[in-house]
Structure 1
Amino acid sequence: MEAPPTPSGFRTDKPFLSLVNIDLLVQVASVTFFHPLGAWMLPMSLRALTFQYHHPPLWGSILYATLVSLYWLSQLLNKRLAYGPNREFDKTEEVLVITGGASGLGLLIAQVYGMRGLSVAILDVNEPEVEVRNVEFYKCDVGNYEEVKAVSKKVIEEIGHPTVLINNAAVVHGKTILDLDVHEIQNTFNSNVLSNFWTIKEFLPGMIEAKRGTIVTISSVLSHIGPKRCADYAASKAAVRLLHESLTAEVAHHGNIKTLLVCPGQISTPLFDGVQTPSSFFAPILEPVDVAKEIMAAIDSGSAGTLELPLYTRWIVVMQALPVSVQRLLRWISGCDEAMRTFRGRHPTDMLNGKM
């Protein structure tokens, strides 16, 4: 059975059942049975059917709805206590800087904010794949501090002090430790890790002075687990995740500066082209537009926190608490160590065109 036509009128060649995964099921449940409004519909319906409060179906459903409501409220309270109130996001005054924004996820975010009329600056070694309104391109190797320092002055002079920084730049080589040469290892850490330090050092002081800002760190689920042929990438993303943790602690007393950590699973961009996901049901490949929507929703709301998607990325950290023998068994079952065997990544001509 084919999937129904997409809103644009095109049909997907994927079977309908391939579009069903655990994330979809959980999402449906979270807005129905596990949402306070949905949970309270059952006792109200039973009451309308003249069930009395001492009847087990009615008081049982009330108990369930109460527990769901308490859990929902506890989540809100936890986020408020952890990150404080949201900051005001005024699109007439916001200036965004996106590293690695010439393609892929970064370009998608830049396009949307540019079309919404915000001032956006892209920092990349490659020119954007398309021309976008209100988006300025600054050629810059973000792994080189001197270049970032010089470009940051131009950005501030030409479009203003950035209030939103999205550290998105990343490279992946997909080689074993012995096959990686020195240049590739250095390139990974320059682009994936040091670039975050350089942009934060240049743009955070302006946010502190303006008393508002949002810093988004793009990490990865591989910051929690290192499969074969991902040693440099996984290590760099783990470093970025811990950098973000320290940054969050350091800016905590600046109430209006928010930090957002994004730890996605595999995204369908050329960066990991050829990689075979172990399970499309439990570990579905993410579409860039879905990740971009979640990031932009958090930025627009002025909130802080962590975005972990799809669902399995929220629980993979539990593996570290299991016995090593169980961890190895789970790695074998999941097939994560064999996923990079078919890795192609970006073709050299794609890298010249800035595709990620």
Structure 2
Amino acid sequence: MAEHTEPPYLRIAAEIRQRILGGALKPGDPVPSTRQIAREWGVALATATKVLAALRQEGLVEARPRVGTVVAAPAGPAPVAAPGRPRAAAGGSDHELTRERIVRAAVEIADAEGIAAVSMRGVAARLGVATMSPYRYVTGKDDLVLLMADAVYGELAYPADPPAGWRARFELGARTLWALHRRHPWLAQISSLTRPLPLPNLLTHAEWALSALDGYGLPAATMLDIHVLLYSYVHGIAVHLEREAQAEAATGLSEEQWSEAQTPALTAIAASGGYPVFARVIAALPDGYDLHLDHLFAFGLTPLLDGLTPLVEQATTGRRPGAPEGTSRPPHG
């Protein structure tokens, strides 16, 4: 008879369960994240996600925003539910379930563990309701992700009295988008520049950017190009927030450890003589180069706006950039 092999995620879940039931992990203590599980047990992130989903179903752990997954407080003397049968959470019931609660729970999971950890089953376990209950309000994960994105894009609003000048408004729009992506690193993972999400709250940010340019005489296509450029700048940097976390989980190396591991190869390239400027720049940084995404965003925003200024001024004054005063811009069309 062939030996029955237990799926890896169930084996790992059993080990973490034993830590909880044995008292090594107490209520409120953090449990290994998906990335830590992937690194410690040498499994894929998808497997690690199944581990935490199974433990959430049993009511042993819960996701807390800005904290991660922690050991859940006991719900009384009732025994732990068997795998696959979620225990009712305190105050949670199908009668109290709403779309807003489902979306909020999904956002909390994504913030704590990444977008890959979000599932309809996991959300049900998080809320302590029957597995199929969320489907009465949300058709599936794809629909849920759209609702999550729309919710978080609506977390920050713009002032009713906007700052003067297109540049100040544009900068505020960029910093607002960056703050949202910083708060929810998974946000940059769910869409591409060429396929924007049709979300009302995302359009709020587009409306702010386009309104900043309105009245300056720019062609409609140029206004949209500038708006897309701004969004692309924020998105292009923000996408690396979650990717770095995924890379750390996959390799088991922090960003600093990975950089140190590449030092011999980079040193050899610099010493080859084929890249003299690169070698000189590296030699000028004896302590190395620290890449901080927040700094990079702030550093790049100024030259981006500087580069757009002549374009806007050209449309306003009717002159080509660099042309002498009094020289009109040729009409379009």
TM-score normalised per structure 1: 0.25
Which is bigger in relative contact order (C-alpha 8 A, separation at least 6)?
1
Larger radius of gyration: 2
Instruction: Flag the structure with higher helix content.
Output: 2
